[in-house]
Structure 1
Amino acid sequence: MANEVTIPLLPCASIDEVAEFYVMLGFTVTYRQYRPNEYLSVRREEINLHFFGIPGFDVTSSYSSCLIQAEDPRELYEAFAAGMRAVYGQVLLSGIPRMTRPRRDGFLLVDPGGNWVRVVPAVRERQEPGRNGLSRALTNAVTLAGSHGAERQALKILEGALVREVHASEEERASALEFREELLERLNLHR
């Protein structure tokens, strides 16, 4: 068989709150149902997301996640960021909802339903086998902060690697410093 389509079905406490959030990001509501069960579908170009409401759902303990493969995750990030800035005056970096800054491997969006929407490049770049310690530390820090909410531990790993890895390229150092700034902002520790 060919041309199958898979659409994530994600839980939330309020389909109205989720609808408002995704419309802010440039999605269109394609279907909304309140009875007998709450249900919502949204679409932006080829991205389709569907949600079902669960009364009393605790969004802070949600494990729901999906992956969006995009040709240019940075372009999608900029569109989402523009919507957030228009409504909130800033890109939300912590709490629920939130969105991380883009990196080579994409970015993370956590919606009001507590769903983790990971946006990654459609064709992943091959990792060089001899990546240095700073690149590995950055990857580990992004994973710790994004997937585990361990921003302090991520900051500690990243700052240690920035001191140790004096031979890292300017590009690697700039990426690490950019993520360090994001972590400081998320932790309210501007130095």
Structure 2
Amino acid sequence: MPTHATKATAIRGQETTVPLLPCVSADETLAFYQALGFAVTYQMTRPYLYLAFRWRDIHLHFGKGSKNLDPSEESTGGCLVLVDTVEPYHRAFSEALRAKYGKVLATGRPRLTRFRPGQSRFSLVDPTGNNIIFIQRDEPEDLEYGGSAKLTGLAKVIDNARILREFKNDDKGAARALDIGLARFGAEATVVDRARALAARLELAIALGEATQGQSLKQQLQALPLSKEARSQLAEELKASERLENWLAGAPPRRTRATRRR
């Protein structure tokens, strides 16, 4: 008898998968995706809700969400969009939002999550709490989502904070992890790891709107006795807070070595 695999390989033609996501507000959903540059390919609110959008070859469809749906949980639904290079998509959506609103929608809901050079993904969080996650196709298969088991002390804390920030969109959790880690391991950590932790926490302070905390962290970071070699080694991490401030303010991003390699 033929196996299922044999039957599958005998099929001719191409497939297209289109996610059908829930929607709690047609007006808000239309406004957000159109601001990003998506074209509306279908729109109906009566006798039932159905919306369809397209951006390049990305198709997103929406129907009415359940009565018990809570958008604030931001776990409503989602879609993975695999791309060759992530950064150009993030730049395009950033520019589209600035053109529409005069700023990037970077906090609350809906929003575009921020992007650091070398990062392999970012998310669009829509008004219903759906996450449209853009992922670089060559993201390492052995990527550790729970923090590397090979690291210890403050280095492990920094890695755990990275996971919370970049893969779980949990800035508050990442900030809390770094605060606890610095208090527990800061005194015994190398100056390089202290600098990495403070730089990561400073960027989070800016993202969370913690102005006083940010100023204190900036002073602590500047006071560290980092060698010229160490500053060169940590150049990208030390510039993270400045890049975030520029992105939020609408300044054009600087092309770094990391982004030029992509």
TM-score over 0.5 (shorter chain): yes
Identify which range, 93-102 or 54-63, moves more after superposition: 54-63
2:82 maps to: 69
Determine the C-alpha separation between the residues in 1 that align with 2:150 and 2:93.
31
Give yes or no for contact 2:85–2:136 (8 Å, CA) kept in 1: yes
TM-score, normalising length: structure 1: 0.78
Give aligned pairs, total. Answer: 186
1:123 to 122, 133, 138: 138
Give yes or no for contact 2:74–2:125 (8 Å, CA) kept in 1: no
Higher radius of gyration, 1 or 2 = 2
Following TM superposition, by how much is the alpha carbon of 1:41 offset from its aligned partner in structure 2, in angstroms?
Answer: 0.7
Following TM superposition, by how much is the alpha carbon of 1:55 offset from its aligned partner in structure 2, in angstroms?
Answer: 7.4
Q: Flag structure 1 segments of 5+ consecutive residues without an equivalent.
A: none
TM-score, normalising length: structure 2: 0.59
Q: Secondary structure at the match of 1:93?
A: coil
Identify which range, 67-76 or 152-161, moves more after superposition: 152-161
Matched, 1:35 2:56: no
Letter of the aligned partner of 1:111 in structure 2? D
1:152 maps to: 172
Segments of 4+ moved more than 6 angstroms: 128-131
Change (3 A) 1:135 1:122: farther
Following TM superposition, by how much is the alpha carbon of 1:109 offset from its aligned partner in structure 2, in angstroms?
Answer: 1.5
Determine the C-alpha separation between the residues in 1 that align with 2:23 and 2:57.
22
Q: Secondary structure at the match of 1:37?
A: coil
Q: Secondary structure at the match of 1:10?
A: strand
Matched, 1:188 2:209: yes
Change (3 A) 1:39 1:4: same
1:82 to 95, 119, 127: 95
C-alpha RMSD of matched pairs (Å)? 3.2
Q: Which has the higher helix share?
A: 2
Following TM superposition, by how much is the alpha carbon of 1:52 offset from its aligned partner in structure 2, in angstroms?
Answer: 1.0
Give yes or no for contact 2:121–2:166 (8 Å, CA) kept in 1: no
Following TM superposition, by how much is the alpha carbon of 1:86 offset from its aligned partner in structure 2, in angstroms?
Answer: 1.9
Q: Which has the higher strand share?
A: 1
